Chain A
Amino acid sequence: MKVLMFTWEFPPFISGGLGMACYGMVRSLLKLGIKVDLILPTKEMVYFPLVEEDDVDKLPAVFLETDKQKEFDTISFANIKERLDYIGVTTHPESYVKMKDITRYLHVLESEETTFFKTKDAHDRMLEDAIFNLIGDEDLIRKVQEYTLRAQKIASALHFDLIHAHDWLCYPAGMIARKTSKKPLVVHIHATEFDRSGGPGDERIHKIEYAGMMYADRVIAVSQYTAQMIMSRYRIDSGRIKIVHNAFTAQPGLNGYKQRIFKGPTILFLGRITLQKGPDYFLDVAERVLKIHPECRFIVAGTGDMGRRLLRKSAELKLKNKFLFTGFLNRSQVEQILKASDIYVLPSVSEPFGIAPLEAMAYGVTSIISKQSGVSEVVNHAFKIDFWDVDRMAETICYLIENPDICLKMGQDGKNEVNNILWDEAAEKIRKVYTSTLSEYLESISL
C-alpha cells in the first residue's frame, strides 16, 4: 500500500507536537510495509518518497519537474541538511515558501481551475467551500494557498492508494488530491481551531476544518476528547471518526539522569505561552504553592503571545526570583530543563492530545495534566486535574513536595509507562483505518 501524505511539519523542524507525531507515525507505518509519499510546504515542488524505516531521517526527495530533477541529480551534497536547504526545508516552516513566489491563488481559481470546482453536488460543494474560504492576506493563508495549488499536479503525477492529510493547513490540498485522483481521503485531526484559539477562533479555518472532515472518507482523531469536540462542535458523524491516540517517540540517546539546577523543588511549564496552554493557571498555582513552600521554583519554558502579560503579572504578584522564564529553548536545552525538573504541569484549557507530558514523563518528571486533554486518556501514572482547579493543583504540588518519595515513585512509574506507549501500536490502528477505508471505498465505486 502507498499513501500520499500531506503535512505542514516534519523534522528537522518541530514547532509543536504535529511534526514529532508525524515522524513517529510515518516511521512505524514504513515498518509495516506501507510506503509514504510525503508532501511538505517546501520552496521547491518536490515530494519525499519514503520506503525504508530510516528514510524518515534521510528524507530522499524527488522533483516533480524533470528538468529540475536533472539539475538536482548533478549536485552532490555534503550532508542531509545541505540537501534539505537546497529544497527549502529550513528549520522554520515560515520560510519554506517565499512570499514573492506565491502564485495568484484567486487568479488561478477564476480562470482555468474554475470548471474543476463547478460540479454542484453536495459533496463537491464542500471542496468549493474549503477552497473559497482559504482567502486572506496573512502570510500563513497565502502559503497554504500555494501549497494547495500544487496538490492537483502532485496528485496527477504520483501513484498511490490513499490520501492522508494532517490538520486544516493540509485539508484543501488533500481534498483537491482526492478530487483529482479519485482515491479515498483520510483527514487527521491533531487540533481544531477551538483548541488553538481558546475561543471562537477564525471563521475561515472553522469552515475549512468542517469542509475537510465532511469531504473526507474517514476522520482520525488523536483522542476521545477530540472526537467529542468534532462531534459536538462540527457535527461530524461518529461512524466516520476513528480514534488513534498519539504515542511517544523516544529521542535516541535519551538518558533520564537528573541534573538539578535548583536545590529546591523545581516545577515546570513547557510549551507555547498562549491561552490554549493555560500558562495563567500555572501562575495562579505558583502563587499558591510559594506561600507554603517558598523554597521551590517555577519555570516557564517557551515563548508565545501571552509571554509579556504573564511576566508582568508574575512581577505584580511579587513572586521574587521564584518564577523564572527561559525564553525560547532548542532541543538540547529542553532536555536540560526536563532533567532539572521534579514536577511538570500541563494546565491546558483544551489539549487535543499533548505530546509534551509524555516527554516529561519519559524523563521521570512527575506530571500533573489537565483533564481537558487527550493525553490524560492514555496515561495512568500522572495526576489528572481540571485546568481551572488551581487549588487542587496547588494542593497536589504541595503534597508531592512534602512526600518526595511518592513524587519520585510516581515519576519512575510514569517513565516506565510512557516507554510502552509505542507508535507501532498506533500505526497498526492507522493501517486498519487505511484498509477499511480502502475496501469501503472500492465497494462504493464498484456499485
Chain B
Amino acid sequence: MKEINIFDKPRNVKILLTLLFGGCLALLIVNFFAPKHSHFPWEEWSGFYAAYGFVACVTLVLAAKHILRRIVKRSEDYYD
C-alpha cells in the first residue's frame, strides 16, 4: 500500500497551523457581530469561551504535569 506522508512536509504543517490561527481569529471577529443568546451575563462578553477554553487547557496541562504526575507516577512494574 502506498504511504501517505503529507505532514512530512513542513509547508503542509504550516498550512494547518495557519488554518488554526486563522480560524481562531475569524471566530473572535464573528463573535463581535453574532447575536448572543445566554443564560449568564459573562456569556455575552466577546471571546469569553475563547479565553475560558485556552486558560482551562493550559491550567489542565500544567496541573496534570506539575502536580498530579509528581504524586501518581510510578515505574511500569510497580504492581508486579
Chains A and B come from one and the same complex: no
